[in-house]
Amino acid sequence: MRLIPENYARTTGRLGVFLAATLSVTAAEPNLEGRWWWNLFETPAELRFAGGQLVGGNDFGVFVGAHEYFPAGTGIRYQNLTDGEEDERGVVTVSDTLVVRRQFDLGGEGFSFLNQAGDVMVSGSVSDSQFAGLEILLRQPTAPFTAADLIGQWEYRYLEVPGAVSAPSLTPGTPLNGGRNFSVEADRFTFAPNGLVTVTATGESLGGLTVIQGLPMFVGGGRQEPFFINRGLDVLLSIKADQTDQDVPQPIYNISLLLRRPDTVTVADVVGRWHVAELYTPRRLQVGAGPIVQGGSDFGAESFSVTFFPDGRLVDADGEVDTWSLTADGLVQIGDATSGAKFAVNRSKTIAATVTSGEDNTLTLAVKYSDSTGEAVTPTLGLVQNGGQWQLVWSGGILESAPTPTGPWNSVPGATSPRALVGDGAGAFFRVTSR
């Protein structure tokens, strides 16, 4: 859009000056071609008893595949990474707003949002009131890389749920099998030049890191754990089922997420609009006195947008206000230090993540899609006389000049306000533009 105030000044004579203040917001169509890793973590939206049976207790799952995006309107091809089966999954539908928010309809229940770096999409939703899901897509790198390219510190965030839940007894208060296998974890890892991965705080070794067939691999304890990685090489993701010890009757589904830490994080890096996707589960489950399992309704997922303002306000789409700040360690603190959450930010500063454990366990993932806060900033431009000399004064944008009112317009190199005008016999036209 372009905003031109009604009031502007013009002088005539040897020096003609046209003054206009403009606000421009432009949207560049993103290029989505290429290969994307697709990951879905899903839980039941509710557990209940019906006919003496626990309904929904097996509705936990993880799904991994690959999307291949083509220009708009030509569809999405999906390939199952396990059996190689391919099919078409509809078309990409893009919805824009003033601040260039991108919503991609991938044929699921909700929209996926793309980060500014163009290599991560996220979505959180409940489908048909039955399944709560967190969907994450990572754009694959185009160039080969090695473990040496990943050296540095990474923030680790982890969410775990049982593969299935069963009822050993209908006696009220009896814990369900697997009903305590819900947990979250947060740590910081160091990827060292010698290939070792360690817990930063304790120095505990987690094995080594290598790259096999284009995927980062954690190698240790007699096994290899593959991770998907984004094009910016600053997000690592593993969504899978683990068979744990003999005390656990079912596999454990988990999300392991690592964000590569930036050197610094500033207020300007965070300010703007973010889309948030959350998946939350109860901390434990037990048989209730009624038809609903206690905690069995505490599964859910949601998506919403928030705006970070430079004055420390955090405002959601409904106008609800919270506070935010930066910690000395470069984390984004939401709310106060006691009841709030600390978000880690990746190197491109377009992804943030946290895990929390209270009444429920929650993994929250956010993508930054705009630097704008949405608040109107109207550039100003004026002409004043100072000591017999005409000067341009402006604020809120970049000074541009043109030989005619219709252009072509170019920024004035090194221009600062005020700026003296010197007549040279030709007309001069000026405007201030915020882009």
pLDDT tens digit sequence for 12-21? 333 344 444 4
3-state secondary structure of 313: strand
* Cis ω for the linkage preceding 418 (within 30 of 0): yes
3-state secondary structure of 148: helix
Q: Is the pLDDT of residue 96 over 60?
A: no
- For residue 211, which of 139, 138, 121, 151 has the smallest C-alpha distance? 151
Please state, for a pLDDT cut of 70, what percent of the chain lies above it. Answer: 82
Q: β-strand 313-316 against 215-220: which pairing, if any?
A: unpaired
In the chain, the amino acid numbered 182 is F
pLDDT at 68: 82
Higher pLDDT, 4 or 401: 401
159-189: per-residue pLDDT in tens? 999 988 988 888 888 999 888 889 999 999 9
pLDDT at 89: 66
pLDDT at 244: 57
Among 81-85, 221-225, 236-240, 266-270, which stretch is predicted with the lowest mean pLDDT? 81-85
Interatomic CA distance for residues 118 and 112, integer angstroms:
12
Q: Is the pLDDT of residue 103 over 50?
A: no
3-state secondary structure of 147: helix
Q: For 365-391, give one letter per residue: b (16+ CB within 10 A) or e.
A: bbbbbbebbeeeeebebbbeeeeeebe
In the chain, the amino acid numbered 409 is W
Whether 178 contacts 60, CB under 8 Å: no
3-state secondary structure of 157: strand
| Tokens read off for 34 | 């290429």
pLDDT at 433: 74
Q: Is the pLDDT of residue 252 over 80?
A: yes
Backbone angles phi, psi at 230, to 5 degrees: -90, 170
Q: Which residues contact 346 (CB under 8 A, 6 or more apart)?
A: 232, 234, 235, 259, 260, 261, 262, 352
pLDDT at 100: 33
Q: Would you place residue 220 in the very low, low, confident or very high pLDDT band (cuts 50, 70, 90)?
A: confident
- 378 secondary structure, DSSP code: -
Interatomic CA distance for residues 133 and 124, integer angstroms:
6
Interatomic CA distance for residues 298 and 94, integer angstroms:
32
**Degrees, nearest 5: CA angle 67-369-88:** 15
Q: Which of 164-168, 256-260, 340-344 has the highest mean pLDDT?
A: 256-260
Q: Is the pLDDT of residue 101 over 50?
A: no
Higher pLDDT, 22 or 198: 198
Q: Would you place residue 152 in the very low, low, confident or very high pLDDT band (cuts 50, 70, 90)?
A: very high
Whether 114 contacts 104, CB under 8 Å: yes
Interatomic CA distance for residues 333 and 325, integer angstroms:
5
Q: Is the pLDDT of residue 307 over 90?
A: yes
Interatomic CA distance for residues 234 and 173, integer angstroms:
44
pLDDT at 99: 30
Q: Is the pLDDT of residue 98 over 60?
A: no
- For the chain, which residues make up each domain, given as ranges? 10-25+377-434, 34-370
Interatomic CA distance for residues 285 and 154, integer angstroms:
32
- 12 secondary structure, DSSP code: -
pLDDT at 377: 54
Q: For 35-62, give one letter per residue: b (16+ CB within 10 A) or e.
A: ebbbbbbbbbbbbbbeeeebbbbebbbb
| Tokens read off for 55 | 């309904």
In the numeric block, the tokens 């000044």 are attached to: 9
Element housing 434 (H / E)? strand 428-434
Q: Is the pLDDT of residue 371 over 70?
A: yes
